[in-house]
Amino acid sequence: MSDTNISQICLDRLDILDLFARYAHAVDVCEWEMLRDVFSDDVEADYTTVAEYTQNHAPILHGIEEILHYFRTVMPHIGPGLTHFMTNHLIKLAGDEANITSHNHVLNLAQGGVYHTHARRTPKGWRLDRLRFEVRYFDQVAEKMNRHMNAIDGRSV
């Protein structure tokens, strides 16, 4: 592999990582127009696992305009102040496309999740064109872990 190829792979990975930073910042400060720099115009996003919290909004979204409407509808009662951490990005590059799995923790909630996404290089740069969010509730995991640790320590559960 040439130095040029290695450099391009590194630049692509950084550009893809930047998508997740922009996504988290847009959501945390409620700057929905920033999402245009994250998603492709024809994005499909699946928020089915948090559908119960979306005020009867369809959890599967088609296109950037539906994404913007979704966030404007679902998030105003929360307002700015959430703090999303996006971590553990597994990026599988294949030319002008990439499959990415990223973990998320919302500092203000005992919740986070896993983002399963697909990105592609567009004339505007890298954009997410598919997203599926898999919610995770930390209190359930903590309860299992504490039960396990207490059993090992000989404490009653």
6-18 pLDDT, tens digit per residue, is 999 999 999 999 9
* Maximum Cα interatomic distance, the chain, rounded to a whole number of Å: 60
**pLDDT score at 152:** 87
3-class SS of residue 45: strand
* Residue 65 Cα to chain centre, angstroms: 18
The amino acid sitting at 5 is: N
CA nearest to 104, candidates 125, 75, 84, 123: 84
The whole-number pLDDT of residue 7 equals 93
Residues 26, 39: contact at Cβ < 8 Å?
A: no
pLDDT tens per residue across span 99-151: 999 999 988 888 899 999 999 999 999 999 999 999 998 888 788 888 888 88
Q: What is the pLDDT of residue 90?
A: 98
Query: In the structure encoding, which two tokens stand for residue 39, read together?
Result: 């998603």
B/e letters for 115-128, b = 16+ CB within 10 Å, e = fewer, are bebbbeeeeeebbb
For the chain, the structural domain boundaries read 3-105+113-137
pLDDT level of residue 58 (50, 70, 90 thresholds): confident
Q: Check residue 109 and give its pLDDT.
A: 83
Residue scoring higher pLDDT (17 or 51): 17
| Cα 17 from Cα 15, distance rounded (Å) | 5
pLDDT in tens, 15-33: 999 999 999 999 999 999 9
Query: Per-residue pLDDT for 54 more than 60?
Result: yes
Rounded mean pLDDT, 49-55: 83
Contact 69, 82 (CB under 8 A): no
CATH of 3-105+113-137 among 2.40.260.10, 3.40.50.620, 3.20.20.70, 3.10.450.50: 3.10.450.50
**Mean pLDDT for the stretch of residues 41-54:** 92
Task: Give the span between the Cα atoms of 154 and 32, in whole angstroms.
Answer: 51
pLDDT confidence of residue 79: 78
